Amino acid sequence: MATRQTLDEIKVCVGECLGKKVILKTNKGKRKAKTREGIIENVFPSVFTVRIDQGSGAERTIAYSYSDILTESVEVTVQGCAESIKVS
């Protein structure tokens, strides 16, 4: 069962990846998943933001909560290495 300690560990892992390129795979339900690439821009107490380049010079900032990782609605993989931020 997930505990407060698990959520704190996720926050630390995301904080260590600040400024790094990541691949986000979001689960939208009913076999719908979306994959995006971005950079972790900010880390706040309850959310973190990711800046996503949409092409043609357009950028978008999306906020995710740490509980999204905990509930596996979002899978965050750091580019350049095989590590993922997820619940162990």
Kindly report, residue by residue over 58-68, the tens digit of the pLDDT.
889 999 999 89
Domain ranges of the chain: 4-82
Query: What is the sign, positive or negative, of the torsion defined by CA atoms of 71, 73, 78, 80?
Result: positive
The identity of residue 45, as a single letter, is: P
Kindly report, residue by residue over 30-62, the tens digit of the pLDDT.
788 889 899 999 999 999 999 998 777 788 999
Neighbours of 87 (CB within 10 A): 12
pTM reported for the whole predicted model: 0.82
Which carries the bigger pLDDT value, residue 58 or residue 5? Answer: 58
Tokens describing residue 5 = 């300690």
Secondary-structure class of domain 4-82 per CATH: mainly beta
Which carries the bigger pLDDT value, residue 49 or residue 81? Answer: 49
Mean pLDDT of all residues in 61-80: 88
